Amino acid sequence: MYTIKSYVFPESLEEADELLHRDCRNNAVLGGCCWLKLGRRRIRWAIDLTRLGLDQIEVKDGFLELGACITLRQLETHPAVTARFDGLLGESVSHIVGVPFRNCATVGGSVFSRFGFSDLTCALLALDASVVLYRGGEVPLAEFMASPIAFDDILLKVRIKDDGRRAAYQSVRRSATDFPTLAVAVSCLDGRWKVSVGARPGRAVQAEEAARCLNDGRGPEAAGVAAGAELTFGTDLRAGADYRKKLAAVLVRRAAQTCIERENKG
């Protein structure tokens, strides 16, 4: 659990940033607060962003924009999200814990924390998304995921090019509402592929060789084998490294095949 000394609702992003930088180590930016329950932390100033208009889903300038304070449940139900990318985003979060939890957990908390078990970051990587930070500006999600975790900036939104790409998601869980044992997302646009693998149990990453196999026309089977070979996998209470490696090959193959079938159906 966590403890909070002072809780504040800033009136602007400028004020939120100023409060954060008074003590980046001990102050924290909050949205739904769900993920804080997974660890132990003493917070001096809790900076709640929920009154700053970051709870909007917008389609503009050729992008789908997801505000940091929208909930995972909104990804499942909002028409602007469900109508795009074959419902990939909603599908990716639909098994996380339960509806009451998803009504509180936010996109910002899920993405900014870069949890290894995050279904959402895996799905967003396959869509070639970017994040918009208050100080850092717009950064490709793949670059953001690979960077060290720091608490000196504020995530404002996630941006995804509204390009009509086909997509598919696959995951394996020990039970329906458990975190994933392994997660895979695949997308295709004009014959160019993206493949991402998460819950390895490390952070989600793009599987470049697997995507290359698909780009070269070698097919889903070869892509699955490539993903299992190119990525590293670890062992935890949910599964061993060898099992995850074999699982990656199967899930990448299935997701790629689903994409192909959807593309053929138009």
Domains of the chain: 2-47 (no CATH), 57-161 (3.30.465.10), 166-260 (3.30.390.50)
pLDDT of residue 38: 54
Q: Please give the Cα distance from 115 to 198 (Å, whole number).
A: 9
- Residue whose structure tokens are 């998460």: 198
CA atoms within 13 A on the CB side of 264: 6
pLDDT of residue 193: 97
Q: Please give the Cα distance from 66 to 57 (Å, whole number).
A: 5
> What DSSP string runs through 193-246?
EEEEEE-SSS--EE-HHHHHHHHTT-HHHHHHHHHHHHS-----SS--HHHHHH
pLDDT of residue 175: 86
Burial class (CB in 10 A: 0-12, 13-18, 19+), 77: exposed
Nearest one of 107, 102, 123, 89 to 204, comparing CA atoms = 123
Phi-psi region of 248 (alpha: psi -120 to 50; beta: other; left: phi over 0): alpha
Mean pLDDT by runs of 10 across the 266 residues of the chain is 79 92 73 54 81 94 95 95 95 88 87 90 97 96 92 94 96 89 96 96 95 96 97 94 97 96 83
